[in-house]
Amino acid sequence: MTDKNNRNKEAKAQRIVLVTGASGAGRSTAIRALEDVGYEAIDNLPMSLIERLLDGAPLDHPLVLGIDVRNRDFSVERLLELLDWLRRESGWEAELLYLDCSRDVLIRRFSETRRRHPLAPEEAPGDGILREVELLAPVRARASVLIDTSELSVHDLKEEVLRWLGNGGAEMLAVSVQSFSYKRGMARGLDLMFDARFLRNPHWDPTLRALDGRSPEVAAYVAEDARFDEFFDRVLGMVEFLLPAYGEEGKSHLSIGFGCTGGKHRSVALAEKLANALAQAGWQVSIRHRELELRAEGLPGTAQQAG
């Protein structure tokens, strides 16, 4: 990219969000969510025309650009070059929002809609999905925010985008803390992940089994493990050390996960405790308990797991 766009150094930087990710992961939904709150949305513009678009007079609204493998003359190198150029220019506040999704869910979505994958129009969608994951790996690694949509409805995704947007532009990044069950697989999209399965398990106490890690009784039981305090203090210290560093690098969202066997007791207690500690320190924190949410929805395969 050239440096044609010499905007007024004292002018307020204009916000631009580049939305990309796996085909079928919800990119269009994310773009519409931003459009609904005042962003000017442009999707699938040929990449060779983007610089010309941005070279004009300042826009009246923040801008969201949808970019994926369907864009004419798309290339990973061109996209990363665009991102670097925008971040160098003082007139732009640029972020890259990446929509991710598990392969199995993507295959199911393509099957349900009977769409062809853009990278495998004459083959099975799974072939295109694998190619796209490999192709976009460098882009995923540069994302300001990564949202995994594997277990999100359209409504949930819109809420997640708006939650991130509400924190966007703040001086400090937003933090999400999650709990999950290793039996159902590691939570996707985590930046930091900690295994809590070495701690004493409330599942084996009949008086605690029906409760979850949000209850004081379970939290106290887990905290009685002789290794708990040192473990938690080390995790908290590391997270507090890393958060400012990630913020200085331009990251606007950090996702932290705790896993245990069933995702009901130990991981939940730790996630709650860390989220509370970070919130008290002034960080913007949201919390999600994957397995508890699934149990509340009555989905199969989520009951009677040792937590």
Distance, CA of 135 to CA of 155 (rounded, Å): 28
Q: Chain-wide mean pLDDT for the chain? A: 85
225 to 78, 144, 172, 220, 222: CA distances (angstroms): 52, 37, 33, 9, 6
What does the block give as tokens for 194?
A: 């900690």
Instruction: Count Cα atoms within 13 angstroms, Cβ side, for 68.
Output: 24
Domain range annotation of the chain: 14-167, 174-296
Contact 259, 181 (CB under 8 A): yes
Q: Which amino acid is at 123?
A: E
The burial of 283, by beta-carbon neighbours within 10 Å (0-12 exposed, 13-18 middle, 19 or more buried), is given as middle
pLDDT of 302 over the 50 cut: no
Question: What is the distance between the terminal CA atoms of the chain, rounded to a whole angstrom?
Answer: 52
Confidence bin at 298 (pLDDT 50/70/90): low
> Token pair 């190198």 is at which residue?
77
- Residues 125-156 have pLDDT tens digits of 889 899 999 999 999 999 988 999 998 888 88
Q: Is 256 helix (H, G, I), strand (E, B) or coil?
A: strand
How many CB atoms lie under 10 A from the CB of residue 242?
Answer: 14
Q: Report the C-alpha gap between 258 and 219 in whole angstroms.
A: 14
What are 235-291's pLDDT values in tens digits?
999 999 999 888 777 677 789 999 999 999 999 999 999 999 998 888 878 888 999
Residue with tokens 């010499």: 6
In whole angstroms, give the CA distance from residue 187 to residue 236: 20
Asked whether 107 and 24 are in contact (CB, 8 A), the reply is no
CATH number of 14-167: 3.40.50.300
pLDDT band at 11 (very low <50, low <70, confident <90, very high): low
pTM above 0.85, yes or no: no
Q: What pLDDT, on a 0 to 100 scale, did the predictor assign at position 165?
A: 76
Q: What is the mean pLDDT of residues 57-75?
A: 85
Highest mean pLDDT: which range of 50-54, 62-66, 109-113, 300-304: 62-66
Read off the pLDDT band of 169 (50, 70, 90). very low
